Structure 1
Amino acid sequence: MTMDVTAPARTIRAGFVGGGFMAAVHSRAARAAGAALVGGSSSSAERAREAAGRLGLDHGFGSLDELLADPAIDVVHVCTPNTTHARIVRAALEAGKHVICEKPLATDSRDAHELTELAAARGLVAAVPFVYRYHPMAREARSILTDGAAGRIVSVHGSYLQDWLATPHDDDWRVDSTQGGPSRAFADIGSHLVDLLEFTTGDRVVRLNALTRTVFGARATNTDIATEDLVAVVVELAGGAIGTLLVSQVAPGHKNGLVLELGGTEASVRFEQERPETLWVGRTGVTSILERDPARLSPDAARLSRVPAGHPMGYQDAFNAFVADTYATISGERPEGLPTFDDGLRAVRVTEAVLASAASGTWAEVAA
């Protein structure tokens, strides 16, 4: 198992589907990992050429089929609207390409399961960017929790709050279920919160009770909106811990407020994504703030600390580390904690349980 975020043994050749914000994030991470950015496709040949110039790709392909037919491409980054993911990922896997797919992997668990099975059958590396687990202090929280230093985990308190859709004038393609799928706030950001919860604790949510709200039924361009703006969830973990999760894209003043606090019998641990350089650890007798210092962190957290203490790291650094680990896996390495299609499938199943609970008004079991 590798103990460092290293360049792959050979130059990975990457292709990109989509040309928006996430494609820009992916392409920066691919470039940082030393990949050759072969080219991209989009909704039209013209948009692909424009995106290629803007993102610094070598070529704009005329179509997805043309991109997938190029033998020079090793891995395909899927950065398109949610409801297109399953079709594009399936085509990429059938073409023999490794895949990094933006979440959700698919908008229903049947498709997500089929894609996970297909990737395994073809022996291809298939990853989903749950990148918040790549913050060094999130890994330090995981070390504290899984090593037993916090004792038995008994409570969970988490939230993921944003305000980019806080007014009816704010709009986006994700609001439209034909593009974003049946869930918006939870599938988009709640999935990150649950992934971080399960990754850091090594435990799983087994059942939940959820309430959803659509605050604005009409926005600037979308009407009859069915997807949720916010979700409140009560969760129970397999190990017996209970807790609450609040997810909102209509929380004024919150830009990317991902917060996760786990309470153990010996200590509580709190990670805040907007303050990723520190980790709060509370005990009955003393409370401490751990700072990101590679010399004093667990090995897994230290390997992700790419700059010295006091030099802040953030979201793009976490994304870069995720892509570097994916490429290293393609080259035969075994980096710790890479989120795969199994994790993407898990996120879809949790999302489906949230929607089922909200629709029925009762507890829902989460499929294993």
Structure 2
Amino acid sequence: MRARSTLRIAMNGVTGRMGHRQHLVRSILALREQGGLDLGDGTRLWPEPVLVGRSEARLKELAGRYGLDRWTTGLDTVLSDPAVDVYFDAQATSAREPALRRAIDAGKHVYCEKPVACDWGGALDLADRAAAAGVKNGVVQDKLFLPGIRKLKRLVDGGFFGRVLSVRGEFGYWVFEGDWQPAQRPSWNYRDADAGITADMFPHWEYVLRDLFGPVRSVQAHVTTHIPHRWDESGKPYRAAADDAAYAIMELEGGVVAQLNSSWAVRVHRDELLEFQVDGTEGSAVAGLRDCRVQHRSVTPKPVWDPDVPADGGFRTQWQEVPGNEPFGNAFKVQWELFLRHVALDEPWPYDLRAGARGVRLASLARTSAREGRRMHWQVTAP
């Protein structure tokens, strides 16, 4: 019989959509359902969640639904508990930074959603504090573990593209205003100026671009609020303070050009809510959340511009599907497993708070670019 090692995780923000579905249910509870995490040394790590939040009623309901016996509305109580090993945060961004600081000061390992802080200075302070305290730390970078992006990474690593020329990303969907249909996102996402799409998505673009193609070296952006008036969960109108669309052109180290459109005010006419098209001298690929299609140089058709003649067949049919060749688990769960192994076994871990700070930095540069109407350069000395 294998030994079992318990790791207690204080999970703050699990009453929210992301914290509940992806982190509690599809990651931590899924690990428990499979008998814990196999550490490969005859031990299975058993994650023991302690639910944390502001609503006693909602925490109690969640605990009862999933058969959990530990929950609290007292953050200081759980942070002062020596039996708690890890603090996880999926709260609103404005609440995350002070909570992480308290957890680090309490000597807890920390793992959190992004963005890690409202500004770059706060994000760097968290990274420095964690390093000084000697605690393990991590930031969710789930897009790297999506099946479509992993297939794209395989193409990059295999040299499929030759010299990469450009990356074009399209992300978004129509978020209902809340007047005649309920919105898919909570109203605080639009009331809080720090919670706009730039702060939410540019940290993702930073790590995806860096990991696959190279670090961002400059950005020029236009940030706007297309839908200025929305209705909250009780049907009351309010003025949106957060940006709901951002359009950016970035230059990466080595000269690759990346164009990224992010919008909660766009209707979808593509196969997936997120798609990247990568063009290189030897081939091109279009990758989404799950699928990835390629067109190699040797089989590239020769289109001819003639608007008076109908296109012969669909352009999409000229691309080849990239096979999975391996099972792909839930992206959030996969990264949780890596972080827990990092905590338990000190295995290598690149997705730390300093990596999270880079995402905040890119969002900050994009907003400055939009506000001042100029191209912003990323100083190489920045983390």
Q: 2:256 aligns with which of 226, 230, 241?
A: 241
SS at match of 1:141: helix
Query: Superposed, which structure 2 residues align to 1:149-228 within 5 Å?
Result: 149-165=160-176, 170=183, 172-177=187-192, 181-201=193-213, 203-221=214-232, 223-228=238-243
Query: Superposed, which structure 2 residues align to 1:34-45 within 5 Å?
Result: 34=36, 35-45=46-56
User: 1:8 deviation in Å?
Assistant: 11
Residue equivalent to 1:58: 69
Residue equivalent to 1:96: 107
Q: Which moved more, 1:235-244 or 1:326-335?
A: 326-335
User: 1:47 deviation in Å?
Assistant: 4.1
1:38–1:58: 8 Å Cα contact kept in structure 2?
A: no
Point out the structure with max Rg over C-alpha. Answer: 2
Residue equivalent to 2:310: none
Q: 2:81 aligns with which of 55, 58, 70?
A: 70
Q: 1:328 aligns with which of 329, 341, 350?
A: 341
Which amino acid is 1:354 matched to? A
Partners of 1:55 and 1:91 in 2: CA distance: 28
Partners of 1:245 and 1:167 in 2: CA distance: 27
Q: 2:321 aligns with which of 270, 286, 289?
A: 289
User: 1:198 deviation in Å?
Assistant: 2.0
SS at match of 2:369: helix
Residue-pair matches, total:
335
Are positions 1:265 and 2:269 aligned together? no
Which amino acid is 2:375 matched to? W
Residue equivalent to 1:309: none
Which amino acid is 2:171 matched to? Y
User: 1:63 deviation in Å?
Assistant: 0.5
Partners of 1:127 and 1:187 in 2: CA distance: 18
Residue equivalent to 2:312: none
SS at match of 1:362: coil
Q: 2:123 aligns with which of 93, 103, 112?
A: 112
Q: Which moved more, 1:118-127 or 1:357-366?
A: 118-127
1:209–1:352 distance in 2 versus 1, CA, 3 Å: same
Partners of 2:351 and 2:272 in 1: CA distance: 21
User: 1:230 deviation in Å?
Assistant: 0.6
List per-residue Cα deviations over 1:30-82 (Å, max 9, x = no partner): 12332433412211444433343345432121410111112221111101111
Which amino acid is 1:293 matched to? N
Residue equivalent to 1:26: 23
Q: Which moved more, 1:339-348 or 1:256-265?
A: 256-265
TM-score by structure 1 length?
0.83
Which amino acid is 2:23 matched to? H
1:211–1:176 distance in 2 versus 1, CA, 3 Å: same
List per-residue Cα deviations over 1:231-270 (Å, max 9, x = no partner): 1101111110113110001223479611112222212232
Q: Between the two proteins, what is the percent identity of the paired residues?
A: 27
List per-residue Cα deviations over 1:90-126 (Å, max 9, x = no partner): 1111111111111110010011001111112222221
Partners of 1:65 and 1:22 in 2: CA distance: 23
Cα-Cα RMSD? 2.5
SS at match of 2:322: strand
User: 1:187 deviation in Å?
Assistant: 1.7
User: 1:292 deviation in Å?
Assistant: 0.6
Gaps of at least 5 residues in structure 2 are 37-45, 300-318
Which amino acid is 1:231 matched to? A
2:202–2:359: 8 Å Cα contact kept in structure 1?
A: no
SS at match of 1:235: strand
Return the structure number with greater relative CO, CA threshold 8 A, min gap 6: 1
1:89–1:99: 8 Å Cα contact kept in structure 2?
A: yes
User: 1:12 deviation in Å?
Assistant: 2.2
2:60–2:71: 8 Å Cα contact kept in structure 1?
A: yes
Residue equivalent to 1:310: none
Partners of 2:120 and 2:378 in 1: CA distance: 12
TM-score by structure 2 length?
0.80
Query: Superposed, which structure 2 residues align to 1:2-13 within 5 Å?
Result: 10-13=5-8
SS at match of 1:189: helix
User: 1:321 deviation in Å?
Assistant: 0.5
